[in-house]
């Protein structure tokens, strides 16, 4: 789901499939290159993102995880198509709430989302056979301890602060820190463009579990003010 601005601007049914490409992940997660020497990268709530497909082609090991992967490619395409019109209309109405730098226009955003979908679907059937796409959801993951070097959470935690409470965030991030050496979450603003009301409580809750959470700047801004990520590691 993209970072969308004002209450009432979008009539969306929960968390929608809205995927991104590898260069977008690299920008907002502060990845100068896709890490190749680490254990596999875990992409949480990935939806129809092409990160796993593109990074795999570059030699990285990536596992994408989303409850959406219970469904076949045709069903995912239909769900994306049902969402796209509302997303396009919302972007047009709310252009002033975004920084048009990385993306020069709403049309460019939609082009990238369409590209991500096609790259994802081209990889999806074979990727499921290879174990690259797993149907599962936070806060409990069917994964072994320390089986990943890096876990990435794009546009899910904190963005949906009005649907997912602070306790859910703590449980989810603690679970991710169990399976990965490092966790990165972007953005830290909610759908209305405000800093998540859960952030301070989540950092404190993680500290009680022996986890270190720090906010780090990133050289990327689309939603105005969304210029940092949260990195979580074991203390």
Would the pLDDT of 8 be above 80? Answer: no
7 in a domain, yes or no?
no
Residue entry with tokens 């959801």: 137
What integer best gives the mean pLDDT of the chain? 91
Residue entry with tokens 């409580």: 201
- Note every long-range contact of 122-130, with CB atoms under 8 Å and residues 24 or more positions apart, other chains counting: 122/53, 123/50, 123/52, 123/53, 123/56, 124/73, 124/76, 125/73, 127/52, 127/53, 127/56, 127/64, 128/69
* pLDDT at residue number 20: 96
2 in a domain, yes or no?
no
3-state SS of 107-167 is: HHHHHHHHHHHHHHHHHHHHHHHCCCEECCCCCCCCCCCCCEEEEEEECCCCCCCCCCCHH
In this prediction, residues 186-203 reach a mean pLDDT of 96
Q: What is the pLDDT of residues 17-35, one digit of tens each?
A: 889 999 999 999 998 766 6
208 in a domain, yes or no?
yes
Cα angle 104-64-183, degrees, rounded to a multiple of 5: 80
Would the pLDDT of 13 be above 60? Answer: no
15 in a domain, yes or no?
no
Q: What is the pLDDT of residues 100-134, one digit of tens each?
A: 999 999 999 999 999 999 999 999 999 999 999 99
93 in a domain, yes or no?
yes
6 in a domain, yes or no?
no
77 in a domain, yes or no?
yes
Q: What is the pLDDT of residues 136-159, one digit of tens each?
A: 999 999 999 999 999 999 999 999
Q: What is the pLDDT of residues 68-88, one digit of tens each?
A: 999 999 999 999 998 898 889
Alpha carbon distances (Å) from 62 to 42, 89, 130, 226: 6, 33, 11, 25
Cα four-point dihedral sign 72, 75, 81, 82 = negative
14 in a domain, yes or no?
no
Query: What range defines the domain where residue 167 resides?
Result: 22-234
* Distance between CA atoms of residues 136 and 230, nearest Å: 22
* CATH number (domain holding residue 85): 3.40.50.150
Number of domains in the chain: 1
* Distance between CA atoms of residues 105 and 30, nearest Å: 23
* pLDDT at residue number 72: 97
Model confidence band, residue 192 (pLDDT cutoffs 50, 70, 90): confident
């Amino acid at each position: 789901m993209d970072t969308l601005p004002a209450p009432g601007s979008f009539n969306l049914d929960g968390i929608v499939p809205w995927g991104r490409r590898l260069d977008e992940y690299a920008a907002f997660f502060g990845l100068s290159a896709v890490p190749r020497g680490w254990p596999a990268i875990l992409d949480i709530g990935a939806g129809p993102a092409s990160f796993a497909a593109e990074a795999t082609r570059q030699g990285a090991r990536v596992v994408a995880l989303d409850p959406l992967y219970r469904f076949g490619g045709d069903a995912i395409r239909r769900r994306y198509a049902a969402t796209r019109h509302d997303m396009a209309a919302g972007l047009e109405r709310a252009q002033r709430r975004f920084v048009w730098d990385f993306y020069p226009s709403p049309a460019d955003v939609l082009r990238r989302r369409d590209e991500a979908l096609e790259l994802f679907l081209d990889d999806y059937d074979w990727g499921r056979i290879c174990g690259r796409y797993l149907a599962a959801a936070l806060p409990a993951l069917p994964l072994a301890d320390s089986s990943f070097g890096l876990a990435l959470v794009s546009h899910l935690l904190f963005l949906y602060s009005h649907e997912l409470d602070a306790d859910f965030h703590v449980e989810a991030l603690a679970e991710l820190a169990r399976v990965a050496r490092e966790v990165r979450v972007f953005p830290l603003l909610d759908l209305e463009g405000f800093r998540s009301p859960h952030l301070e409580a989540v950092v404190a809750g993680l500290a009680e579990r022996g986890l270190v959470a720090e906010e780090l700047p990133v050289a990327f801004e689309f939603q105005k003010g969304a210029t940092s990520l949260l990195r979580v590691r074991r203390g």
